[in-house]
Amino acid sequence: MIYSLLVLSSPVSGQGAQTAAAFAQAVLAAGHTIRRVFFFDAGCYAGADLAVFPQDETDRLGPWVELAEQQQVELVLCISSAIRRGQLDATEASRHEKPCASIHPAFTLSGLGELVDATAHSDRLVTFGG
């Protein structure tokens, strides 16, 4: 089956975001495919390359980067949710005259059209919130 994930959970609050990453791994392990993971609202913090977590805590970014780099899973941050939360790529940083990019290159910024495409072409759309 073709899955897409909608991630609304912030990686710094609760378990939703980490559960989403583990779920994505399990989807692929079960032999399904993932069309896209779309990060929306507070979920956009998943792409934060400048976030620093205590060393004894679970890596929030690593599991997503692994999904993108090892399994070619497309990770999309909703651009409007992302930039208002300081999640910018180099293009947006330049456009808005901000000092630097702040998202990991495993993630791309794009519009809600990517979510629409995901819902139109996926057998399963699984949302993670809270």
Partner 1 sequence: MTDAGRNTLIVIRHTPYGSSLARAALDAAMAMAAFEQAIDILFLGDGVLHLMPDQDGAAIGVNNVSKLLASLPLYDIDSVYVDAASAAKYRLATSDTPIAGQFLDQAQIQQLLSRNDHLLGF
Partner 2 sequence: MVLHTLNAPPDSTAFNDCLAAIAPGDALLLLGDGVYCALTATPACDAILRCSAQLYVLDKDARAAGIIGPPDTVTVTDMPGFVALTARYPRQLAWY
Residue 128, interface with partner 2 (CB under 8 A)?
Answer: yes
Name the catalytic one among 21, 27, 78, 118.
78
Applying the rule CB under 8 A, the residues between 75 and 114 that interact with partner 1 are 80-81, 111-113
DSSP string of 9-43, one letter each residue: --TTSSSHHHHHHHHHHHHHHTT-EEEEEEE-GGG
Closest contact distance (angstroms) between CB of 71 and partner 2 is 15
Residue 14, interface with partner 2 (CB under 8 A)?
Answer: yes
Nearer to partner 1, 26 or 120 (CB): 120
Whole-number Å distance between alpha carbons of 91 and 18 = 28
Q: Are 43 and 7 in contact (CB under 8 A)?
A: yes
Per-residue tokens: 20 = 């989403």
Q: Is 44 a catalytic residue?
A: no
**Residue type at position 67:** L
Closest contact distance (angstroms) between CB of 120 and partner 1 is 3
Closest contact distance (angstroms) between CB of 54 and partner 2 is 17
Cα atoms found within 13 Å of the Cα of residue 97, Cβ hemisphere only: 0
Q: Site residues (CB under 8 A) for partner 1?
A: 6, 8, 40-42, 80-81, 111-113, 115-117, 119-122, 125, 127, 129
